[in-house]
Structure 1
Amino acid sequence: MKSVQQEVDERTNLTGTNQFELLLFRLGGDARGDRSELYGINVFKIREIVAMPELTAVAGAHPNLLGVVNLRGQIISVIDLPALIGCTPKTGLNIMLVTEFARSTQAFAVEAVEEIVRLEWSQVLSAEASGVGGMITSIARLEAPGEPTRLAQVLDVEQILRQIMPDSSVEADPETIGPKVILKPGSVILAADDSFVARALIEAGFDAMGVQWVMTKTGKEAWEKLQSIASAAEAEGKTVQDKVALVLTDLEMPEMDGFTLTRNIKQNPRYAGIPVVIHSSLSGATNEDHVKSVGADAYVAKFVAEELAATIRKVLNA
């Protein structure tokens, strides 16, 4: 039997292979109680899974905020995920998923937890590219020998949190973001993030910094865009370094994650000298160690525009 440490080590090492683990759960059926779709969240975001405790209602709170719970001395907001998504639990809100990301701790009430599955990021498709979106960033294909393919919807937790608990402090303010970031004339920052909300915040931050940017939705799209820019630059008798000043990437993305994107850039001499900054809601020493192992130049947790700007300035000036 594996020890807890072995399981943690194995899960952590997945970041080097473009793999991850997805916790699958159900929220209930549609308005008539029919069907019960699978949803998923990256295991790295889960702090713990507990039976639904007694909650304290909060006066004047968002209608999809069930209340707060005192969990070992920490007051945590609990979001009614089925109500937010539009599902009706048949058996009630039985499980609470306590999550840690984007500098905060919160919990989601769900009907049932299914299992943890290990996937290649190539098995995960962008929701926007698939013609859907809303509150999901991607759709995972769950394939097993002899069984029909199942689909799991990966929730855009950044958008959900912003809808339930708006935080004005994440807005980019030209007055507080500091001096303009100076790029080489004609160059841009190439960015990748699969969350619509995150992209909007990053783009607003770039505008406040006074930089030109190119935004992509996945690591694969960013990698292909970088290759395209490099080919166009070479056709002009220039280098890709003349066109791309820095790459900013999220970690969790369909098709290709930020670790793989960073490794591809750092291991290819064609892109030597292009700094890579990882900008992620996945925080903690373990992820920061992996950032160093793939050669990224810096890591900054989402989302404080001033910290993002300061990190970009520091890396460009290094």
Structure 2
Amino acid sequence: MSGILDSVDQRTKLVGENRLELLMFKLGTRHVFAINVFKVKEVINVPHMNEMPGSHSHLHGVTIYRGTSIPIIDLRDAIKLKPSQDVDPTKGNVIITEYNRSVQGFLIAEVLSIANTSWKDIQPPPSSIGKANYLTAITQMELNGKNEIVEIIDVEKVLAEIVEYDTSISEEVLEQSLAEHINGQTILVVDDSPTARKQIKDTLEQLGINIIECSDGLQALNLLRSWADEGMDVLETILMMFTDAEMPEMDGYRLTSEVRADPRISDLFIALNTSLSGSFNEAMVEKVGCNAFISKFQPDGLVTVVQQRMREKLQS
């Protein structure tokens, strides 16, 4: 596995082109799962682990990775796949990832390959599978001469069930002079993860903000354009937009570029709210023209950006 991610630094150019690369793997069943390569730091063999008394049932153990202790999550168990007698937990691989400013490993059965694809070929999971599923999207790939359905895992939901998120806002962050102006404002939240959307909603509703949700970039763009087509002043309809980076059909970078290219909505305040690495996103934010960047999940950061936008609007 040492060479599978050797060229990860060369992959950043794909994001600005509405493209991504998926690391595909199995969990001991015929199903093929995937996560975005940009979230992956390394793929390793199953390391020595220690069980931690009283830890969450999804945690397989703790190991030392590059001098730091990190949790190893049994991904099969976390997404509620039935146990298999054929899976040996001491074999297989661990995918080391970085999400929401933390590093963790996911225990899997085997890595298959990396595939380059387009966000427009990534589709939301069917609504008929219910809200309890652990997928943000699905796609189709050719593997070993066969077309396979690839299921993209909602890692943010997995992590939120292990470490409960806190939506409380620090008192020192709140500016009372802005509170009455913020109350009643509407914000558009664009994210393919229902968990991520709920985190933002639970945070900002404390300020009296109304939330409109979209689950992908194309849906959000179509909504904004429909408002403009109807003659609505989009900048008065919504205060701003929070968008994720990775989403089916259209990612947050392309969404931002499309908004900036439409003179009717080009001045919309856009904040990128993503679990992807900060240094990379700071460059992408400047390239596509976002107004702000926040690493998930930071309630105080969300509020700070909302107040920044409100202050700018009052001064304009």
TM > 0.5 fold call: yes
CA distance in 2 between partners of 1:6 and 1:111 (Å):
21
- The equivalent of 1:158 in structure 2 is 156
CA distance in 1 between partners of 2:85 and 2:286 (Å):
43
* Shift in CA distance, 25/62, structure 1 to aligned 2, threshold 3 Å: same
Three-state SS of the structure 2 residue aligned to 1:269 is: coil
CA distance in 1 between partners of 2:150 and 2:24 (Å):
8
List alignment gaps of at least 5 residues for structure 1.
30-35
List alignment gaps of at least 5 residues for structure 2.
none
Equivalent AA in structure 2 for residue 303 of structure 1: F
Q: 1:201 aligns with which of 185, 199, 202?
A: 199
> Does the 8 Å contact 1:38/1:151 carry over to 2?
yes
TM-score (norm 2): 0.88
Offset of residue 49 of structure 1: 0.7
Deviations 1:217-236 (A, max 9, x none): 1111111111122223x1xx
Segments of 4+ in structure 1 off by > 6 A? 3-6
Q: 2:42 aligns with which of 48, 66, 81?
A: 48
> Does the 8 Å contact 2:5/2:42 carry over to 1?
no
CA distance in 2 between partners of 1:261 and 1:41 (Å):
21
Three-state SS of the structure 1 residue aligned to 2:264 is: helix
* Shift in CA distance, 44/278, structure 1 to aligned 2, threshold 3 Å: same
Three-state SS of the structure 2 residue aligned to 1:116 is: strand
Question: Which stretch has the larger CA shift, 171-180 or 10-19?
Answer: 171-180
1:296 aligns with 2:298: no
1:286 aligns with 2:280: yes
Offset of residue 304 of structure 1: 1.2
| Count of residue pairs brought into register by the alignment | 303
- The equivalent of 1:212 in structure 2 is 210
* Shift in CA distance, 5/217, structure 1 to aligned 2, threshold 3 Å: closer
- The equivalent of 2:86 in structure 1 is 90
Equivalent AA in structure 2 for residue 250 of structure 1: D
- The equivalent of 1:256 in structure 2 is 250
Question: Which stretch has the larger CA shift, 79-88 or 274-283?
Answer: 79-88
> Does the 8 Å contact 1:263/1:295 carry over to 2?
yes
- The equivalent of 2:69 in structure 1 is 75
Question: Which stretch has the larger CA shift, 20-29 or 204-213?
Answer: 204-213
Offset of residue 10 of structure 1: 3.5
> Does the 8 Å contact 2:182/2:310 carry over to 1?
no
> Does the 8 Å contact 2:182/2:209 carry over to 1?
no
CA distance in 2 between partners of 1:17 and 1:129 (Å):
28
CA distance in 2 between partners of 1:291 and 1:130 (Å):
35
Three-state SS of the structure 1 residue aligned to 2:174 is: coil
> Does the 8 Å contact 1:281/1:301 carry over to 2?
yes
* Shift in CA distance, 50/16, structure 1 to aligned 2, threshold 3 Å: same
User: Equivalent residues in 2 for 1:1-318 (5 A)?
Assistant: 7-29=7-29, 36-85=30-79, 86-87=81-82, 88=84, 90-93=86-89, 94-127=92-125, 129=127, 131-133=129-131, 134-143=133-142, 147-167=145-165, 170-173=166-169, 178-179=174-175, 188-232=186-230, 234=231, 238-318=232-312
CA distance in 2 between partners of 1:89 and 1:284 (Å):
41
CA distance in 2 between partners of 1:296 and 1:96 (Å):
34
CA distance in 1 between partners of 2:26 and 2:259 (Å):
38
Equivalent AA in structure 1 for residue 167 of structure 2: E
> Does the 8 Å contact 1:26/1:38 carry over to 2?
yes
Q: Percentage identity across aligned positions?
A: 31
